[in-house]
Structure 1
Amino acid sequence: MIKENQQILNQVNIFTDGMVILLAMILAYSLRFSVLQGETGHITLEGYISLSLVVIPLYLLIYAGFNLYESFRRKDFSKELGLIIKANLLGIVILLTCLFIFKKIDLSRWTLVFFFTFNITGTAFKRFVLRNILKKYREKGYNIKHVILLGDGPLARSYLNAVYNNKSLGFSITGYISANKSLRHIRYLGNYDIIYETLDLFNADEAVAALEAEEFHLLPKIINSCEKSGTKLSVIPFYSKYMPSNPYLDDLEGIPLINIRRIPLDNLLNAMAKRTMDIIGAVFLIVLFSPIMLIASVGTKLSSPGPIIFKQERIGLNKKPFTMYKFRSMRINAVERTGWTTFDDPRKTKFGSFLRKLSIDELPQFFNVLKGDMSLVGPRPEMPYFVEQFKESIPLYMVKHQVRPGITGWAQVNGLRGDTSIKKRIEHDIYYIENWNLIFDIRILFLTLFKGVVNEEKFIN
């Protein structure tokens, strides 16, 4: 039954996606030529509607290529939104290429820009609404996916907790198969000796293998039984706690390799895009904040004897040390003592406290960005002393050094600064590293304006 439901849902999605494309084109035309009252040229609204009849099958094929017509029961909406944006980018590139080849120069460029925007917005909104309708539908006991669980260890228990705590996923556990009868409040269906007979009898929509390491030798038998009975199989790896949030599968002469830490910035184009944004952003921000930096320089010089810029060694990309710049906020030689800065730290000058309060002391790090030592966004860098401490006591701490450190970061805009939990900061840093994209960077920069400027004196570096 679940397969028939998915087919109906796909048909609804395909039809409504086509309608959104048509509506987006009509709205784009109306905005360009009715609201903004531009010159219509030789192509009328009927011409743009005719263009839509060509664009619709093209976009639907692209959507299918991006797996947008597969079940999104387990997928996060943000990932689906990312696929919608990527599919539309590819679609508009193909459309513009075809228009150039066939010399359709009468088409309004602004109309295509509006179409691109409206289509992404409309498709995302439609799918968001559909998701929520289906969630409510499943919570009432409809469109349920019946699952047989294979295993009874910690992995199986974790899976059961996830299913029971989220009814909107629409999973119903028929029962479990294992060597032992150890799970309560769930039907025991038998052991692995009769797995095929059990799968064939209950005709579930899916089997989920949650085998511990010592049971993994049973997997070939489970796969054969599922294929023989026509039951879809999903496997939870016993090493799942070591898996990244977005695992990347590589291939070596037919041997699959799972990269335990997927880093989008290892991709050359991604790295170039981020570096370009860093350079342009740093130049713009240096010009924008130059009056403030001039005032900070004069104030630092007048507040106490010593240099204006404080230089300190930090650990950056690939564990390489670099010199980080800040406006000096402490008296000379006061910073030689290793330790966190506290609220009433006697080492700070009054003017230095003011600079730190508004994070103005961090502004010289824009020059670190230009040099390539830092990025506008990334994990905050630490001194070598603390790196040596944390790498022994904090799991995954050194992963943060696989990307350039940043002036601001995902941890900072979530309130994790200074004497807050180091472990939570690292969790946020790793999430950022594994899920990086330019939109994520821009989001963090905007959040910094509202959350990350005022320093509540918890900042340790």
Structure 2
Amino acid sequence: MSTLTERSSNPISSQVSATPSLRFGSLVRPRLMQMYFDLLAFTLSFAAYQLLRTFVLTDLRSFTIEDHVIIALMSCAYWSVVFWLGGLYRDFYIRSPFDEFFTVIRHTFFGSAVIFLSIFVTSSTEYQSNPRFVFVVYWLVLCALVCIGRLSARQLQRRLREHGIIKIPTVLVGSVARLRELLVDLHDEPAWGYDVLGVIVVDTTQSPIAGLKAQVLGDIKSVQHVMRTLRPREVLVTMDHTDHDALLQVTAQAADEGCLVKIVPDLYEIFSGQARTQQIYGSPLIEVSPELMQPWEEFAKRMLDILVSLIALVVGMPVWILTAIAVKATSKGPLFFVQERVGKYGHIFHMAKFRSMYVDDRRGPTWTDENDPRVTPVGRFVRKSHLDEIPQLWNVLKGEMSLVGPRPEQPFYVEKFTEMLPYYRRRLKVRPGVTGWWQVKARSNPESLEEIKQRLRYDFFYIENMSFKLDLEIMVRTIFVMLRGHGQA
């Protein structure tokens, strides 16, 4: 096994020391981009406010250019402080765009309210004569411009990372099998921006290290030396959940050297993470799989299911009628394909879809693939556009499904997967959904046990983080997926 030598003779050390801008870019540039786009949004929103105020209140005294510049600078300084105090200049990769938009809306609302109250309390009569809607428009424009700017900053960062312009020097630590999986994931996702300097193998006696597509830097005893020599920005740890001592050692030593440590969980860790601490008269207990949604969120989720389903079924009636006519006119068979599915707590229900396949197919339960010969020409279109899913809104109205949740499976597959993965039935704790986290992230049907496990990661992530806000985010993402035509053909 090749190990690290002195820094001067190590090629990776030379590479890292010769390109310090990579570490600087990965740490600072995202925040600078946020600030650049925010300052532009602050300036443009202030300009829009002044223009609207001028047109609405024509008898106002005119401002000099110096006045406008001073007020604009004060506005930029004020909002920069508000955003900084609100934590909006942290690394934006720690939150989703949807979460960031909610945070922006909240802080701009309260910040605008402070400006509004300050003007009416301390300013002259001239400023107090501003109509309320001028301030409302100012807040709306500010919200929109900041959100657009931050989304643009994210996309620009993504492109820079995809093209290798900005990288995060990273060391991977873990077991051989888990390292292989992680290296494949990092290779398939260049937008993550990780520049793998090498790997540290925790236990070289269990599996051969041959075939690892990265430089092996050493074993667990060399963690501290590797951190001091290469100075990686981040350390990704991926190992079995039973390696407690090794995990604690790696985490402590890497953190002591100023490295940001991130742990890549396996299915067991995701599942066991769904717990919360309780106590009875001072004795600690751990409740496994608690109800993570608040009662008001559960109520809001159900009301949203009913409202959206009713509106979609009624407003979209002409489209559903045309789809039904096309299905019946182009192939023989029933209009709907009805199938048993497993719902919450194992309840069996009948789920309907617009039929997209030829009838009399004698194969047993199976998934469809991209070039499945059973799919009709019209069926290929309705599957691509997700129109075949519309009848499931009736299941949503009946309470058998929700708009958002893990996809319901056939009883055959539930029994089969439960035999292979005992924790599979964890999915049955919640109502199945028309769309879900897996659909907006992966979309393809799993074809192997490893792909099933990967799908479960997405499902368990949703179950562990269930919230009304996450449901809204998934619904918005689903709309973009449909518009891009990423459905199954």
TM-score range, shorter chain: 0.5 to 0.7
Q: 1:311 to 1:317 in 2, by over 3 A?
A: same
Among residues 305, 308, 320, which one is paired with 1:281 in the alignment?
A: 308
Alignment of structure 1 residues 129-278 onto 2, 5 Å: 129=156, 136-137=164-165, 144=169, 153-155=176-178, 168-173=193-198, 186-188=216-218, 191=221, 198=225, 202=229, 204=231, 216-217=244-245, 230=257, 232=259, 234=261, 236=263, 240-244=266-270, 250-252=276-278, 266-268=293-295, 270-278=297-305
3-state SS of the aligned residue for 1:404? coil
Q: 1:183 to 1:26 in 2, by over 3 A?
A: same
Q: CA deviation at 1:91?
A: 1.0
Q: Is there any run of 5+ residues in structure 2 with no aligned partner, and where?
A: 1-16, 121-127, 463-469
Q: TM-score, normalised by structure 1?
A: 0.63
- 1:55 corresponding residue in structure 2: 79
Q: CA deviation at 1:275?
A: 3.2
Alignment of 1:69 with 2:90, yes or no, is yes
Q: Distance in 1 between matches of 2:193 and 2:28?
A: 22
Q: Distance in 2 between matches of 1:47 and 1:189?
A: 59
For each residue in 1:284-318, what CA deviation from the matched residue of structure 2 results, as whole angstroms up to 9, or x when unmatched? 1221233466688999999xxxx998876532223
- 2:476 corresponding residue in structure 1: 442
Provide the aligned C-alpha RMSD in A. 6.0
Q: Distance in 1 between matches of 2:184 and 2:115?
A: 53
Among residues 332, 348, 360, which one is paired with 1:321 in the alignment?
A: 348
Q: CA deviation at 1:111?
A: 2.2
3-state SS of the aligned residue for 2:56? coil
- 1:112 corresponding residue in structure 2: 139
Q: 1:415 to 1:310 in 2, by over 3 A?
A: closer
Q: 1:178 to 1:387 in 2, by over 3 A?
A: closer
- 1:81 corresponding residue in structure 2: 97
Letter in 1 for 2:194: L
Q: Distance in 1 between matches of 2:323 and 2:105?
A: 44
3-state SS of the aligned residue for 2:270? coil
* Larger CA deviation: 34-43 vs 55-64: 34-43
Q: 1:242 to 1:117 in 2, by over 3 A?
A: same
Q: Distance in 2 between matches of 1:54 and 1:218?
A: 47
Q: Distance in 2 between matches of 1:186 and 1:299?
A: 59
Q: 1:162 to 1:38 in 2, by over 3 A?
A: same
Alignment of 1:28 with 2:45, yes or no, is yes
Letter in 2 for 1:443: R
Letter in 2 for 1:54: Y
- 1:91 corresponding residue in structure 2: 107
3-state SS of the aligned residue for 1:108? helix
3-state SS of the aligned residue for 1:57? helix
Q: CA deviation at 1:34?
A: 4.8
Q: CA deviation at 1:212?
A: 5.7
Among residues 383, 402, 415, which one is paired with 1:375 in the alignment?
A: 402
Q: 1:384 to 1:99 in 2, by over 3 A?
A: same
Q: CA deviation at 1:12?
A: 6.3
Q: Distance in 1 between matches of 2:165 and 2:353?
A: 56
Q: Distance in 2 between matches of 1:396 and 1:49?
A: 57
Q: CA deviation at 1:58?
A: 0.9
Is the Cα contact below 8 Å between 2:306 and 2:396 reproduced in 1?
Answer: yes
Q: 1:37 to 1:291 in 2, by over 3 A?
A: farther
- 1:349 corresponding residue in structure 2: none
* Larger CA deviation: 160-169 vs 312-321: 160-169
3-state SS of the aligned residue for 1:322? strand
Is the Cα contact below 8 Å between 2:42 and 2:79 reproduced in 1?
Answer: no
Aligned residues: 426
3-state SS of the aligned residue for 2:197? strand
Is the Cα contact below 8 Å between 1:317 and 1:402 reproduced in 2?
Answer: yes
Q: Distance in 2 between matches of 1:157 and 1:294?
A: 50
Q: 1:95 to 1:256 in 2, by over 3 A?
A: farther
Q: Distance in 1 between matches of 2:327 and 2:231?
A: 71
Q: CA deviation at 1:271?
A: 4.1
Does 1 or 2 have the higher relative contact order (CA < 8 Å, sep 6+)? 2
For each residue in 1:262-286, what CA deviation from the matched residue of structure 2 results, as whole angstroms up to 9, or x when unmatched? 99x7355654454343222212122
Q: Distance in 2 between matches of 1:452 and 1:412?
A: 10
Letter in 2 for 1:440: I
For each residue in 1:388-445, what CA deviation from the matched residue of structure 2 results, as whole angstroms up to 9, or x when unmatched? 344335776534434333345666787647xx73865784475266255413213324
Letter in 2 for 1:279: I
Q: Distance in 1 between matches of 2:52 and 2:42?
A: 14
Q: 1:291 to 1:164 in 2, by over 3 A?
A: closer
Q: CA deviation at 1:59?
A: 0.6
Letter in 1 for 2:408: P
Q: 1:226 to 1:365 in 2, by over 3 A?
A: closer
Q: Distance in 1 between matches of 2:472 and 2:197?
A: 39
Is the Cα contact below 8 Å between 1:178 and 1:191 reproduced in 2?
Answer: no
Q: Is there any run of 5+ residues in structure 1 with no aligned partner, and where?
A: 346-351, 457-461
Q: Distance in 1 between matches of 2:263 and 2:421?
A: 26
Q: CA deviation at 1:116?
A: 0.9
Is the Cα contact below 8 Å between 1:155 and 1:236 reproduced in 2?
Answer: no
